[in-house]
């Protein structure tokens, strides 16, 4: 399978036009994290390294074909003294499959500081490697992400709040040492952030398997981090209705620093025949 370095290595084919490579896949649709990560790396290539990405907002418009590369068109919306904005459109076969706006902030700004506390969770080394727990069928799909170590905190080991409708916590990291470039770690986390988050909406509904797909995805990056070191993905789903589920995630490093936040709305439709590729999206 392709490495994350290969996945995020977008090719410049013209000014502000990039091509994200495709790779053999077990999925029938391009993984949303791959499209988001490649779009973000394309935008980053047009911005001075004196700025760092602080937010992205993306919409999944059409299912991508995992066997085809995606072309990313970058629009330079604004270049300011403190903030820079880019809009990226991902295209396959002449149609937009993804749109993203990304904002970059100068790295030298200072201001007030505070954050929520990291919730308690067992150490990742105390939990089993998820790859060793899956069924043979699920393992075939999970090969897409075998470079990533995912360890789900069991419900009985979670400190929960009665005010939250659905809660889930997952330790995540890349299994190998990655390049030191912080831009690369941001792109890797954008890829990783699409894993498991929509699954938090199913926690209150055991045995129900809705039709699932990412509809939109937003991220905010607060502090530097490494994607090859353990990160706790604290996930909630505050609401689900009308075939859509809202999910949110806060990401902490081992020192308890909140490094990123995620919000995603996804399809959670029931009452229709399950599509033949549903097994490929069971974690989303």
The SS3 call for residue 155 is helix
Dist CA 41 CA 10 (whole Å):
7
Which residue of the set 214, 235, 237, 268 is catalytic? Answer: 214
The whole-angstrom separation of Cα 260 and Cα 225 is 9
Question: Is 214 among the residues known to form the active site?
Answer: yes
Task: Specify whether the CB–CB gap between 159 and 226 falls below 8 A.
Answer: no
Q: Which of 103, 200, 264, 268 is catalytic?
A: 264
* Structure-block tokens of residue 140: 């075939």
Please give the biggest Cα pair distance in the chain: 53
Cβ proximity of 178 and 229 under 8 Å:
no
Instruction: Characterize the bridge pairing of strands 83-92 and 167-174.
Output: unpaired
**Residue 271 φ/ψ region, left for φ over 0, alpha for ψ in the -120 to 50 degree band, beta for the rest:** left
CB within 8 Å of 197: residues ≥ 6 apart = 233, 235, 247, 249, 262, 264, 284
Name which of 140, 141, 137, 130 is nearest 233 in CA terms.
130
Continuous H helices in the chain = 4-7, 32-44, 136-142, 182-192
CB neighbours (10 Å) of residue 39?
A: 30
Q: Rounded distance, CA 148 to CA 252, Å?
A: 17
User: Contact, 84 vs 47, CB < 8 A?
Assistant: yes
Token digits of residue 53: 């990405």
**Catalytic annotation, pick one of 34, 194, 235, 283:** 194
- The DSSP code for 192 is H
Residues forming the active site: 194, 214, 264
């Amino acid at each position: 399978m392709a490495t994350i370095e290969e996945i995020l290595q977008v090719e410049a084919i013209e000014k502000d036009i990039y091509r994200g490579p495709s790779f053999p896949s077990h999925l029938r649709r391009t993984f949303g994290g791959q499209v988001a990560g490649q779009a973000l790396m394309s935008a980053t290539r047009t911005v001075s390294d004196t700025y760092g990405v602080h937010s992205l907002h993306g919409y999944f418009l059409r299912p991508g074909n995992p066997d085809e590369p995606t072309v990313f068109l970058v629009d330079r919306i604004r270049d300011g003294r403190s903030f820079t904005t880019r809009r990226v459109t991902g295209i396959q076969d002449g149609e937009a499959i993804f749109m993203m706006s990304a904002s970059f902030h100068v790295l030298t700004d200072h201001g007030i500081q505070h954050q929520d506390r990291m919730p308690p969770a067992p150490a990742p080394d105390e939990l089993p490697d998820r790859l060793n727990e899956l069924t043979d069928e699920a393992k075939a799909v999970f090969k897409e992400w075998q470079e990533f170590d995912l360890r789900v905190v069991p419900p009985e080991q979670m400190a929960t709040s009665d005010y939250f409708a659905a809660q889930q916590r997952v330790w995540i990291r890349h299994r190998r040492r990655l390049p030191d470039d912080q831009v690369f770690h941001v792109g890797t986390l954008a890829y990783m952030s699409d894993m498991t988050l929509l699954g938090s909406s199913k926690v209150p509904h055991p045995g129900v398997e809705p039709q699932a797909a990412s509809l939109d995805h937003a991220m905010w990056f607060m502090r530097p981090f490494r994607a090859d070191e353990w990160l706790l993905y604290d996930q909630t789903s505050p609401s689900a209705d009308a075939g859509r589920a809202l999910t949110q995630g806060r990401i902490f490093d081992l020192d308890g620093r909140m490094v990123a936040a995620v919000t995603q709305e996804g399809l959670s439709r029931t009452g229709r025949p399950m599509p033949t590729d549903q097994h490929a999206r069971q974690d989303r």
